[in-house]
Structure formats: structure tokens, C-alpha cells
Chain A
């Protein structure tokens, strides 16, 4: 009897220790990656990093200015395009479709698109745009990223709008408001914080996406504002430079990785704060 009790306690102790250990492994991974980025990346972020374009093979110095501008343009355009599309589709799911079959299928497909392999989305946009226009371009990169960002916005908008109490809608209808104004001015406004969270998370997600840009925006050694040309961007430049034998390229890639990681983590944290303020008030 006594030994049996001790055995149960022992198993319980072991399981507790192991689960604590699992948390440590997860945290260790996070800290290890962040520390590496900090140690290797931050020293690479000097003045030239932000002002000069990527160096030619074998030449000294250089920076990431063209890739930073390219990423800003591509991600910015994607955000401008995919935010309204995602929000409107989300409004349909929550306000108009609700329990209909179309809405059910759309939700299902959106959830799958959230985790679908991003490289396949790159292939699709290549077939759609690059193969037909015969050249890589910043535009096609934006399209590929938009296909990844839209589902994120759709799902958060849908989920947030579901939290709006029905009485709020009814009160607005009773005042004689048309349905579209109830959706936009009452419901959407009530969950503004949550929707902004969704948009921020979508931006965080696409900022580091590399695979869909490989065959769409490609890369460009030179500085350009023209989105009709192949366009340098941070993730693909990191990929090319990290795999290169040149040490200064690798250093630049570490710097760019640290930059992206800082941006993405800050966006994640902002998104959480925006959401928490909304849900608490």
C-alpha cells in the first residue's frame, strides 16, 4: 500500500519535472534565437546598413537600404490592399452570411489558407502573373503576400464581430439605420481594437515571409522605387546572403534578420496590447 502510494507520487513528480523541462526547452529556444540575433545582428546595424545598397559580390561594406525600401513598399502595398478586402469579407461572414453554407465553406477554406504552405502561394502567383507578364516584379510579390495576409484579417474580423452583442445591433436597427451602416459604424467600431490586432498580426506574418517572394519579387541588387521590376526585399536578401561565402554578406544578413525580428516581435506585442485594452474596457 505504502509503496504503491510512493510510486504514484514518484510518477507525478517525474511528470511535473518533465513538463517544467518542456517549458524550459521552449523558452531556451526563444532566448537562444533572440540572443544570437542580438549578438550577431545588432553590431551589423550601423549607418551604412540603413543608407547604402547591397554590395556586389566580393566588395566591402554596403548596406541594406534597397532591401529595406523594397520590403516597406511591398509590405505597405499589401497592407493597404488586404485590409479592406479582409475586413469586408469578415463582415460578410459575421453579419450577412453567418450560418449560411457559403459562409461555412468560406470559414473552412480561410482556416486552411491560414496554414497553407506559403511556397505554393508563390507558385500560384508565379503562374498567374510572372509567367504571363514574363518578368518578376514587386507587384507580384505584393499579390502573393496579400493572399497570405487576407485570411488572417478575415478570421480576426469574423471572430471579433461575433463578440458584438445582438442588442447593440437591434438598438441601431430600431433607430432606422440601414444594415450597412450598422455593420460599419456600430459593429465594426465596437471591435476596432480587435480588428487592428488582426491587421497588425497580418503585417507581422508577412514581414518575414520569404518563400512566396522567391519566385515573385525575386531580388534586385540595385535601389529601385519601381514596383514593375524585380525588387530587393529583406527576407530574400537574407536568404541569398546567408547562403553566400562572403563574410560581409553574412553579417548584413544577420543585421537584416535582427531588424525583421525586432519589427515582428514589436508588432506582436503591440497587437496584444491593443487587444487587451479593448477587451478590458
Chain B
């Protein structure tokens, strides 16, 4: 009897021992696993940091040579070794603003249609179609823009605008390619991004709010204007900023249609250059002495601008989501 007890006791002790060893082993494994996953997560942070450092280091010779004037000078002449970012920055900002001016109202219309007017059975296929537009690679937008879209703009739109709007922004001759067309192609590209953010935030509006407005006799437009928009304002602005961030850094679609000229002009029909298109066109054949550092300088400017825009957008969208979660 007592022998049995001792045996059982020993068994239990051995089992506990094994269990303790196993727990310790699991704990070690867990620590290793957590460390591995953490290291991959911090890799993302390191890359961001690495991008900034490498751009600054590579661009340094250009900053040293031209000083502050690099950021605003509108001379960009590889043959004379004179480099200023003015033209490219101007082209980047103006094409993006045109894209926003055209794209935001259309995106708003799409989001409004999808959340308010559209029959339920049509919502999913329409939404998917708009999202597929976001999946089309940018080089295809560019290619299509150059061969199909630009000639149509040149033939039908530009002569009309030159006649009725004219100087200083819409002056002839109608070339088809240029800052204006690049802005339009960009608009088409960013519509799906802005529209899907807007649709998502519109859907966070509580049904009760809208129903009360409909109940006191508001029309659909009045509901959108007075209930949906004020409620989702922060998220909508975030979506617009996201579109802006996309437009600023877009390379291929712009490179095809912007005309690639390093001349400064207020005329939107004139060919120009954006930061991304300058990089795409000139980098492979650039001279390493000053031209490459200057191109890295452009890249740094682009990265900082888009980083700020995207960070603000991220923050706003999160604020919008938080508000929706609070109700």
C-alpha cells in the first residue's frame, strides 16, 4: 500500500518535472518566435529610415553645389551642369492639383451613388468594377494615355478650351501631351482610391441619423449634404489626401503624357516634367558627378512631400474611423 503511494508520488513528480521542462521549452520557443516576428516588423521601420538616409547621402553633392537654390531654381540643364528642382516640383504639384480638381467631384459622385441611390443588387458589382480600375497597372494608364487619350484631348478638348478660356493657363498650340493631359490621366487613376475611401466612411453614418432626416422630409441630396458629409468630413478629407499622395508620386502614367520638357511655363497645355517623370527619363543615362545627386535630391523632395501628405491622410482617416467606432 505505502509502496504504491510512493510509486504514484514519484510518477507525479516525474510528470511535473517533464511538464516544467516542457513549459520552459515552450517559453523559450515563444521568446524566439516573438523575437523573429518583431525583427521583421522593425525591418519595415528600418527601410523607411534607410530610404531617408540614403537619399540624403546620395543627394548631398547637389545640395553642396547649389545650396538652397536647388529647391526653387527653375534651371534644369544637364548639359550645363545646372540643376534646380523648381520645374519638376511645379509640374508635380500642378498635375496633382488638376487630378484632385477633376477626380474628387467624380469620386464623391461615385461614393454617393454607391451608398445612397444605387439598388442593393448593383452595389457589389459596381463597387468591384471601380476597385478593378485601381488594379490596372499605372504603365497601362500611361500607354493608353499617350496613344488613345491624348490625341482625343488634342483634337476635341484643347482647341475648344484655348478658344474660350485662353491665356495665360490655356494657350495654344494644342499639343495633346502636357501638364493638363497628365493631370486628367492622374485623375482617372486616383478616382478609385478616393471613391472607395469615401464609400467606406459614408457607410459608417448611423442609419438612424439618415432615417430621421428622411423622416422630416429631406431629399436625398439634403441628407448627403447636411447629414452624411458633416458626419464623415474628417474621413473624406483623409481620402482626398490619400489620392493626393498617390498622384504626387505616380511615375509611369505621368511620364508617358507630360511631354518631358524642362521649361517653366504657366501654360497648362505646355509640356512639362514632374519629379517622378524626370527621374524615370534621365536617371539611367545620368552623369554620376552632379546629375545623379541632383536626381536623388528630387527623389528626396518627392519622398518628403508624399510622406507628409500620406501621414496627414492616415491620421485623418483614423480619426474618422474612431468617430464611427464611438457611436
Contacts and interface: CB of A to CB of B under 8 A. Distances in A.
Contacts, number: 264
Nearest to A178: B26
Nearest to A260: B137
Contacts of B72: none
Contact of A117 (B58, B135, B249): B249
Contacts of B284: 214-215, 218
Contact of A116 (B113, B192, B310): B310
Contacts of B109: 18-23
B128 A210 contact: no
Given A23-B110, A33-B136, A89-B43, A117 B303 contact: yes
B188 A102 contact: no
B318 to A, nearest CB: 9
A235 interface: yes
A3 to B, nearest CB: 15
Contacts of B255: 239
B148 interface: yes
B251 A119 contact: yes
A250 to B, nearest CB: 8
Contacts of A178: 26-27, 29-30
B276 interface: yes
A142 B10 CA distance: 59
Interface of B: 26-27, 29-30, 32-34, 36-38, 40-45, 47-48, 50-51, 54-55, 57-58, 105-110, 112-114, 116-117, 126, 128-133, 135-144, 146-148, 188, 191-192, 195, 219-222, 224, 242, 245-246, 248-252, 255-256, 276, 279-280, 283-284, 295-296, 299, 302-303, 306-307, 310-311, 314
23 contacts: A16-B221, A19-B108, A19-B110, A19-B113, A19-B117, A22-B106, A26-B133, A29-B188, A30-B130, A37-B144, A88-B37, A89-B37, A89-B43, A92-B41, A106-B44, A108-B311, A109-B45, A127-B57, A178-B30, A180-B33, A210-B251, A214-B283, A235-B137
